[in-house]
Structure 1
Amino acid sequence: MRSTLPMSSTNLTCQWVDSLKAIDRARWNALVADGLPFLEWEWLRSLELAGCAAPREGIQPVHLLVWRGKQLVGAAPLYIKGHSYGEFVFDHAWADAASRLGLRYYPKLLGATPFTPATGYRFLVHPQEDPDELTARITGAIDEFAHKNRILCASFLYVAPTERGRFQRQDCLERITHNYQWVNGGYRDFDEYLERFNANQRRNIRRERAALAAEGVAFNTYTGEAIPSGMFDLMYRLYDDTCSKFMWSSKYLNRRFFQLIGECFAHRTVFIAAEREGQIVGMSFNVRKGEHMYGRYWGCTEDIKFLHFSACYYEPVVSAIRLGVRVFDPGAGGSFKMRRGFAATPNYSLHRIYHPRFRQILEDHLKQANRATLEGIDDLNNDLPMKERPEPAIQF
C-alpha cells in the first residue's frame, strides 16, 4: 500500500507506506535522533520482519512519511488495529461505550511502539523543521485517512511529556494513566541510593540482596559486543517461559524477533544476568539510550526467592548509576515497584475522536478520571518508603 497526498503550497507531500522496508534506515533514524529507542527503524522493522506487527496478528503498519521535495522531514509510526491487545492503556470500556451508541470502535488507528509501554512516542520531525507545523500537517493527513477509512478513533499512546501541548493544540483529548520510574539523584553507588529509604525498607532491601548472595547468585551485565553468542536466544526462551507461566495471552513476540534484535540492536541492549556456578539462572532484558534505560522482559530457570526483584530492579539501578543513566523505566504495572523506590509517574495518551457525541462523552469522563488519576499518583508517592519524596522524572 502506498499513496501520495499533496499538501498545500509548502512543497510538503505525505506518503503512506505499509512497511518500513519502504524507507531508508538512516533517513528514518535521523528523525528519531535522541528520541525513544523503540521508535528507531531497527526495532520497528524487526517487529515487522518477525511477523509480530503484521495483519495476521490484527496489527497492520500504516506509517506516514512527510517529504519536502526529496528530503524526508517528518514521519509518524502508525498501525491499524482490530483489537486493543498489547497496548497497556486499556480502552475496552471505550469500545463498549461506542457499541452502545451503535458505533464501530474497531479498526482503530494507533500511534505507538507495539507491545512497548515506554514513554516517548512523538511524531518524528527533522530538526530544521517547525515541529508545530509538521504536527499540524501530520494530523491533517491522519484525519483524512481516518475519514476515508471510516475510523472512529486515532490514539497516540505514551506520548513524550514535551509533546503533549502539540497534540492538545490539534484538539486531541488527553487521558492520564501512570507507571513507575526511578530517577537518579546523582548517587555515587547503590549504598548511597539506599540511604534515601527509611530504616525499615533499607534493611529489607539489604536482606533480599544478601539472601541471593547466600544462594551463590551473582550478577553480571552484558551489553553491545560483549553480549555472548546465544544470549538473545536464551532471553527468548526465558521470555517464553515467563509468558507460559503467568501471561500466555500477552506473548506478543517470537524467537525470530529476538534473533533480529540480536543482529541489529545489541548496541542498545543491556542484559543483566543472575549467575550461579557458571550458569545463568535468571536474566532481564533492558534497553539503554543516552540517559534513559528501559526494562523490557525477564525470566528465570529456577524459582529463587527475591531473584525477580534483584534482576529487574536493584541490579538495573546499580547499572544505571554506573552508566550515568538519569531515568530508569522498569516497565508496566506492579505496585511492588514502589517498595523498591520507583515513584508513580503520569503517562499521557492523546486521542482524536471522529464522532461528536462519542467525543463529548469521553471528554466529560476524562475530566473526572484524569483528576482522580493525578490525585491517586500523589497518594501513591506519599506512601513511598523514602525519607523524602523523590524528584519527578526527567521530562523528555
Structure 2
Amino acid sequence: MTPALEPRVLPSIALVEAAQWDALHDRCNPFVSHAFLAGLERHGCLRPEWGWQPRHVTLWRGDELVAAVPGYLKENSHGEFVFDHAWANAYARHGQEYFPKWLGAIPYSPVTGPRLLAHDEADRRGLLRAIVGYVQDAGLSSAHVNFHGVDEDVAFDADWLRRVDVQFQWRRQPGWRDFGDFLAAMDHKRRKNIRQERARVARAGIRFRVVHGDEASADDLRAMHGFYLQTFAEYGNAPALTLPFLRHLAQTLPRQLVLFLAEQDGEPLAGALCLRGGDTLYGRYWGGAALPGLHFETCYYQGIDYCLREGLQRFEPGAQGEHKLARGFLPAEVRSRHWIADPQFRQALRDWCAREARDVARYAQALQRHSPFRSGDEP
C-alpha cells in the first residue's frame, strides 16, 4: 500500500539532503538549488530581525521528498520586490495584523523561475494545499508565491489572487551572433548612444575580466563584496549578503557564478555579480566608481556580450529601471500569487488586483511604443 502524502514545514533546508531537493527541479535555475538556499541560511544572510525565517513547505511519501517550495515566515516585506505595503496598511486600518505572513520566494532576488518544485501537477496542487493548511494552522494572514514560472499558473485555483508586474529583460533574436548584430537591430539614436557609452569607458583605460566561480581568486571575491557593500551604503540599506556566502557560491556553483570585474591600471574599479542558469543570465548586484558609462557597461553591455558569446537566450538584469529600455531590455510580464485567509479581504484585494492588472497592461503597452529597435526588427 502506497503511503499517504505527509506535509512538513521545515525551519531549515539543511534538514533535506541536497540530492533529494535538487531531484525536484531541472537544475536550470540556480536560485532554487539546495546550494544557493542553504548558503543563505548557513552564512548569515537570513536573520529574524530582517524578517526572514525559513519555513520550507514540503511533501513526503515516507522518506521520499516528492514536492517542496522554498518558504519563509515574514514579519515585514523587506527584500521581496512584490510590493504589498498598501495591503498591510489596509489591515492596520481595520485593526487586523498582516504580519506575520508566509512567502514562497527567493530572498532578495526578484528573479523568475520555478517555485513549486515537483514532478507533476497533482503534487504541485498538493503542495499548495499544504501551504494553505500551514497558514490556517499557524494563524497567519496570508501566503504569497513570488515570481513563479508561467507553467506553474495552472496549479493555482481561483482562491489564489493573481498579480502581474513588468520587468525589463533582454532576449536574443535569430541572427544575433555578436554585439554588432544586436546594435544593428536598433534605431540610429539608441545605437549611437550605446556606442558612445562604451567608447567613454574604453577611453578611460578600463578593461574587463569575466570570471566564473572556479576562476575567481580570493581577491576577486573580496573586491566584488566590497563593491556590493559600497552600493548598499550609498543607498542607506543594510547589506544582507556576506563574503562567506560569495565564497560558498564560488565553491558550490562554480560555473554558475559569473563576475564582471572592471579594472583600471590593474586595480579593481567596479564589478557586477551574476548567476547563470540553463539559458539565462541573472544580474544581481553591482558596485563601483561613479564614472560616465561604467554602470551601463558593467551591468548591461558586458552581460549582453556574455550571453551572445555563450549562446544564452535571456538576460534578466534585475527589477525596475526604465533606463534599461533604451539599452535593449524590453518589458516582460512577471507574476505572483496570493492566498488571503480573511474572505472579506480576499474579495476586496481581488478587485484591487484586477485594477492593478489593467494599469500594468497599459503601462506595458506604453513602454512597447518606445522600443529601441527599428520598425520591423523589434523582438
Residues 30-65 of structure 1: per-residue CA shift (max 9 Å, x gap) = 112234211111111111112222323321101122
The one-letter code of the counterpart of 1:171 is D
Deviation of 1:313 (Å): 0.4
Which residue matches 1:231? Answer: 220
TM-score, reference length from structure 1: 0.91
Question: For 1:35 and 1:160, how far apart are their aligned partners in 2?
Answer: 13
Instruction: Single out whichever of 225-234 and 102-111 deviates more from structure 2.
Output: 225-234
What is the match of residue 257 of structure 1?
Answer: 245
Match among 366, 370, 375 for residue 379 of structure 1: 366
1:51 paired to 2:38: no
1:241-320 aligned within 5 A: 241-245=230-234, 247-300=235-288, 302-320=289-307
For structure 1, the 5+ residue unaligned runs are: 1-7, 392-396
Distance 1:214 1:18 in 2: 52
Is 2:122 the counterpart of 1:125?
no
Q: Spell out the pairing of 1:10-89 with structure 2 (5 A cutoff).
A: 11-89=4-82
What is the CA–CA distance in structure 2 between the aligned matches of 1:233 and 1:171, rounded to whole Å? 46
Displacement of 1:233 in angstroms is 1.9
Q: Which residue in 2 is equivalent to 1:213?
A: 202
Partner of 1:94: 87
Amino acid at match of 1:387: R
Q: Deviations over 1:189-219 (max 9, x none)?
A: 0001001110111111111111111111122
Distance in 1 (CA, whole Å) between partners of 2:127 and 2:100 is: 20
Secondary structure at the aligned position of 1:251 is classed as: coil
Query: 1:224 deviation in Å?
Result: 3.7
Alignment partners' CA distance in 2, 1:278 and 1:52: 31
Would the aligned equivalents of 1:113 and 1:121 in 2 still touch at CA under 8 Å? Answer: no
Check the 8 A contact 1:63/1:79 in 2, yes or no. yes
Question: SS of the counterpart of 2:66?
Answer: strand
Partner residue in 2 for 1:3: none
Match for 2:182 among 180, 193, 217?
193
2:315 aligned to which of 328, 340, 343: 328
Question: How many residue pairs are counted as aligned between the two chains?
Answer: 377
Contact map agreement 2:162 2:335 (CA 8 A) in 1: yes
What's the CA shift for 1:11? 2.4
The amino acid that maps onto 1:307 is L
Cα distance in 2 for residues equivalent to 1:28 and 1:13: 16
2:152 maps to which residue? 163
Query: What is the alpha-carbon distance in structure 1 between the residues aligned to residue 250 and residue 257 of structure 2?
Result: 9
Question: What secondary structure, in the 3-state scheme, does the structure 2 residue paired with 1:248 have?
Answer: coil
Deviations 1:269-302 (A, max 9, x none): 11111122222211111110111110001111x3
Q: Aligned-residue CA RMSD in angstroms?
A: 1.7
Higher mean alpha-carbon deviation, 134-143 vs 203-212, is at 134-143
Segments of 5+ residues of structure 2 without an aligned counterpart are: none
* 1:364 counterpart = 2:351: yes
Aligned pair in 2 of structure 1 residues 233, 32: CA closer, same or farther (>3 Å)?
farther
SS in 1 for 2:173: coil
Residue by residue over 1:99-144, the C-alpha shift from the partner in whole angstroms, topping out at 9 and shown as x without a partner, is 1222210000000000000011421113xxxx22112211221112
Q: Give the counterpart letter for 2:61 in structure 1.
A: R
- Shift, 1:10, TM fit: 5.9
Q: Please name the residue that 1:176 is paired with.
A: 164
Moved more, 345-354 or 376-385: 376-385
Distance 1:175 1:378, change over 3 A: same
Mapped to 1, the partners of 2:265 and 2:372 lie a distance apart of 35
Report the TM-score when normalising by structure 2. 0.95
User: Residues 251, 390 of structure 1: CA spacing in aligned structure 2 closer, same or farther, 3 A cutoff?
Assistant: farther
- Give the secondary structure class of the aligned counterpart of 1:266: coil
Task: Check whether the contact 2:7–2:59 (CA below 8 A) recurs between aligned residues.
Answer: yes
